[in-house]
Structure 1
Amino acid sequence: MRAAMVLFACLLSACTVKPDISASDRVRAFYAAYLPTLTSSDREFPLSEMSEYVSADTLKRLDDIESIPEQDLLGSDYFAYAQDYDPSWISALTVGTSNPFLGGEVMPVWIGKENGGKLELEVFVRREADKWKIYRVRDVSDNYEHPIFNSGAITRVKSAAESGL
Structure 2
Amino acid sequence: MRAAIVLCACLLSACSAKQYQSAPMRVHSFYSTYLMSLTSSDNNYSPSELREYVSADTLKRLDNIESIPEQDLIGSDYFAYAQDYDPSWVSALTVGDARSFMGGEILPVWIGKEHGGKLELQVYVRRESGTWKIYRVRDVTDNYEHPIFNAGAITRAKSAAESGCADFRRKT
TM-score of the aligned structures, taking structure 2 as reference length: 0.87
* Aligned residue pairs, count: 159
Matched residue type, 1:94: T
Question: Identity, % of aligned pairs?
Answer: 70
**Match in the other structure for 1:158:** 158
> 2:138 is paired with a residue of what secondary structure?
strand
Q: Where in structure 1 are there 5+ consecutive unaligned residues?
A: none
**Partner Cα separation in structure 2 for residue 41 and residue 159 of structure 1:** 33
**Partner Cα separation in structure 2 for residue 141 and residue 84 of structure 1:** 17
**CA RMSD, 1 decimal:** 1.8
**Match in the other structure for 1:117:** 117
**Partner Cα separation in structure 2 for residue 107 and residue 138 of structure 1:** 11
**Partner Cα separation in structure 2 for residue 61 and residue 68 of structure 1:** 11
**Partner Cα separation in structure 2 for residue 117 and residue 91 of structure 1:** 12
- What is the CA-CA distance between 1:147 and the residue it aligns to? 0.3
- What is the CA-CA distance between 1:42 and the residue it aligns to? 1.1
**Partner Cα separation in structure 1 for residue 51 and residue 10 of structure 2:** 32
- What is the CA-CA distance between 1:18 and the residue it aligns to? 3.9
> How do 1:95-114 and structure 2 match up within 5 A?
95-114=95-114
**Partner Cα separation in structure 1 for residue 153 and residue 81 of structure 2:** 18
> 1:30 is paired with a residue of what secondary structure?
helix
**Partner Cα separation in structure 1 for residue 106 and residue 47 of structure 2:** 23
Residue of structure 2 aligned with 1:12, choices 10, 18, 33 = 10
- What is the CA-CA distance between 1:41 and the residue it aligns to? 1.2
Which digits, 9 at most, give the CA deviation of each residue in 1:99-123, with x for residues without a partner?
A: 1110001100000000000000000
Which digits, 9 at most, give the CA deviation of each residue in 1:10-46, with x for residues without a partner?
A: x938846544210000000000110011111111100
**Partner Cα separation in structure 2 for residue 18 and residue 37 of structure 1:** 26
**Match in the other structure for 2:59:** 59
Matched residue type, 1:86: D
**Match in the other structure for 1:46:** 46
**Partner Cα separation in structure 2 for residue 93 and residue 18 of structure 1:** 26
**Partner Cα separation in structure 2 for residue 15 and residue 49 of structure 1:** 25
> 1:43 is paired with a residue of what secondary structure?
coil
